[in-house]
Amino acid sequence: MKVFSTVALLGTAALMSCTSAEQGTVSRLGATPIVSGGAYSTGGGLSVAAEVREAAGKTLVCGVFAQSKNQSVLSKHGETIVLGRSAVFLGREALVRNINFFLEVAPSSDYGNQDAGCVTLDRTWSATDATKPVIIRIPRQVVSFDGGDPLEGGSIVTFKQTGPEA
């Protein structure tokens, strides 16, 4: 019971560290969003582009993602899991966790000026925010596990942040 209480407390603290968000909207990314992503252990991957800016005195987080066209069937629909566990930071501050509101776009070498999924946070924008780096964090994770022994033909699909991969 003590372990559950500690885990619940840590989970609550992690959720509280993100500012609450208002209804999602669509807005165009600027010319140079921050781009990251990663690869699945079975091949293929994701690219994610994000931007943080001021909107009516509040903080706006916008982004898009793209998937490789040629990826394994084992990683299909893995983006929902991967994006759900990802976060956008401004400097050391976690702004949003779960970036499934990002819009899907075609793979590209440049994600600037794309229509993007956005959320406006309750967080007030500060003049110093414009100087802070935007960071996309995508944790290494198991995306799918069929329950079988990998040494006997079972499969485990993992995802690792390595940079743009779509």
Q: Along the 166 residues of the chain, how does pLDDT read in single tens digits?
A: 444 333 333 343 444 345 555 568 999 999 999 999 999 999 999 999 999 999 999 999 999 999 998 888 888 889 999 999 999 999 999 999 999 999 999 999 999 999 999 999 999 999 999 999 999 999 999 998 776 665 566 688 999 999 989 7
Q: Is residue 8 part of a domain?
A: no
Interatomic CA distance for residues 89 and 94, integer angstroms: 4
Q: Does residue 103 sit within a domain?
A: yes
Q: Is residue 67 part of a domain?
A: yes
Residue 3 lies in a domain: no
Q: Which helix (H) or strand (E) holds 47?
A: strand 45-55
Look at the chain and report how many structural domains it folds into.
1
What integer pLDDT is reported at residue 4 of this predicted model? 37
- Please compute, for residue 60, the number of CA atoms within 13 A of its CA located in the half-sphere on the CB side: 18
At 71 the pLDDT is: 83
Burial per residue of 75-111, b for 16 or more beta-carbon CB atoms within 10 angstroms, e otherwise: beebbebbbebbbbbbeeeebbbebebbbebebeeeb
Q: Is the residue at 147 inside a domain?
A: yes
Say how far apart CA 1 and CA 15 lie, in whole Å: 21
Q: Which domain holds residue 125?
A: 18-161
**Residue 1, domain member (yes or no):** no
Residue 12 inside a domain? The answer is: no
Do the beta carbons of residue 107 and residue 66 sit within 8 Å? yes
Output the pLDDT for position 155.
Answer: 81
Total-model pTM: 0.82
Give the residue from 24, 36, 84 showing the smallest Cα distance to 60: 24
